[in-house]
């Protein structure tokens, strides 16, 4: 399904990526394709330790994107520190 790391503009090969639970496993997230996204080490670490979040992009007017579609996932940077 995923052709590379799902982070925008990242093209790391899937063989060098890790599966990330969008809803974390310890919070009840399922280990199935609808809840997993491939991330390279750098971006996986950015989600777990850097404050980035990953979530499905909200559907627009009946649009149904498959999790393998490049626009399916949205990435939100950490909030600026005050």
- The residue extents of the domains of the chain are 14-76
Phi-psi region of 51 (alpha: psi -120 to 50; beta: other; left: phi over 0): left
Residues 19 and 5: their CA atoms lie apart, in Å, by 10
Residues 35 and 23: their CA atoms lie apart, in Å, by 7
Structure confidence by residue, pLDDT tens digits, 60-80: 555 555 556 666 677 888 877
Burial class (CB in 10 A: 0-12, 13-18, 19+), 29: middle
Residues 78 and 80: their CA atoms lie apart, in Å, by 6
How does the average pLDDT of the chain come out, rounded?
82
CB-CB neighbours of 41 under 10 Å: 12
Q: Is the pTM of this model over 0.85?
A: no
């Amino acid at each position: 399904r995923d052709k590379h790391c799902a982070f925008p503009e990242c093209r790391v090969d899937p063989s060098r990526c890790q599966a990330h639970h969008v809803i974390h496993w310890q919070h009840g997230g399922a280990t199935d394709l609808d809840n997993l996204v491939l991330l390279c080490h750098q971006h996986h670490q950015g989600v777990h330790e850097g404050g980035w979040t990953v979530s499905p992009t909200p559907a627009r007017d009946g649009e149904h994107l498959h999790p393998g579609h490049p626009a399916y996932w949205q990435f939100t940077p950490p909030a600026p520190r005050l």
